[in-house]
């Protein structure tokens, strides 16, 4: 019987057809919004309070629309303006104006962060050993990165819920001055005496 079928198909002439039949291919049509196959069970519903969206020459841009043009520290979900001196040049001389006092903010926080990300601007500049020693004595690991990568790493670690701090220098060297720091708002009740 199989041989008769094969003989029949051998004798049938093959004619090109001018009409093509369009075949429909049906795909799964469930809404992507309902797809929960990649839900992160460990993630918190609320995002971290400080998230960096971009780093540019004019400063660090946060998710809430804030732009920080100078050095800053992200710690415990807060942003602090950081009076850090400019890193000038390369090598030990670049850090001449730095001392342990530039990291004293970390002494006021309990619990201390696990990791301090030091963003050194456009390129990685290794800090002097006394900075690493100062932080290690407090149980804080120091990771030195350029500012762009420090911000990306901060976003990732903060989203994971890690105790992380970031000390960030801007891409173009800028120090805070009285003209760039907004004045503190005072309550009118306290100013009238």
Whichever domain contains 118, its CATH number is: 3.40.1230.10
Closest CA to 142 of 124, 108, 118: 118
Q: Please indicate, yes or no, if residue 106 is contained in any of the structural domains.
A: yes
Summarised one tens digit per residue, pLDDT across range 100-157 is 999 999 888 889 999 999 999 998 999 999 999 999 999 999 999 999 999 999 999 9
| Total number of domains constituting the chain | 1
Closest CA to 112 of 120, 103, 124: 103
pLDDT for 5 beyond 70: no
Q: Please indicate, yes or no, if residue 118 is contained in any of the structural domains.
A: yes
Q: In this structure, what token pair is assigned to residue 92?
A: 């030990």
Q: Please indicate, yes or no, if residue 116 is contained in any of the structural domains.
A: yes
Q: What is the mean pLDDT of the chain?
A: 78
User: What average pLDDT does this structure show over 15-36?
Assistant: 57
Q: Please indicate, yes or no, if residue 107 is contained in any of the structural domains.
A: yes
Domain enclosing residue 138, as ranges: 63-169
Q: Please indicate, yes or no, if residue 55 is contained in any of the structural domains.
A: no
Poorest-confidence range of 89-93, 109-113, 129-133, 176-180? 176-180
Q: Please indicate, yes or no, if residue 139 is contained in any of the structural domains.
A: yes
Q: Please indicate, yes or no, if residue 163 is contained in any of the structural domains.
A: yes
Helix or strand run (H / E) with residue 143: strand 141-145
User: What average pLDDT does this structure show over 166-174?
Assistant: 86
């Amino acid at each position: 019987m199989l041989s008769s079928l094969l003989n029949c198909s051998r004798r049938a002439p093959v004619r090109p057809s001018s009409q093509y039949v369009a075949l429909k291919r049906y795909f799964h049509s469930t809404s992507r919004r309902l797809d929960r196959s990649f839900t992160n069970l460990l993630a918190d519903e609320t995002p971290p309070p400080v998230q960096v969206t971009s780093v540019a020459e004019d400063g660090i841009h946060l998710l809430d629309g804030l732009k920080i043009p100078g050095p800053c520290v992200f710690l415990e979900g807060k942003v602090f303006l950081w009076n850090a001196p400019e890193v000038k040049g390369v090598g030990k001389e670049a850090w001449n104006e730095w001392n342990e006092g530039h990291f004293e903010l970390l002494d006021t926080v309990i619990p201390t962060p696990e990791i301090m990300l030091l963003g050194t601007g456009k390129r990685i500049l290794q800090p002097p050993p006394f900075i690493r020693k100062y932080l290690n004595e407090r149980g804080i690991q120091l990771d030195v990165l350029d500012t762009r990568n420090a911000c990306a790493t901060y976003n990732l670690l903060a989203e994971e819920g890690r105790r992380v701090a970031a000390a960030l220098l801007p891409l173009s060297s800028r120090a805070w001055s009285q003209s760039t720091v907004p004045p503190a708002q005072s309550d009118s009740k306290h100013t009238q005496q």
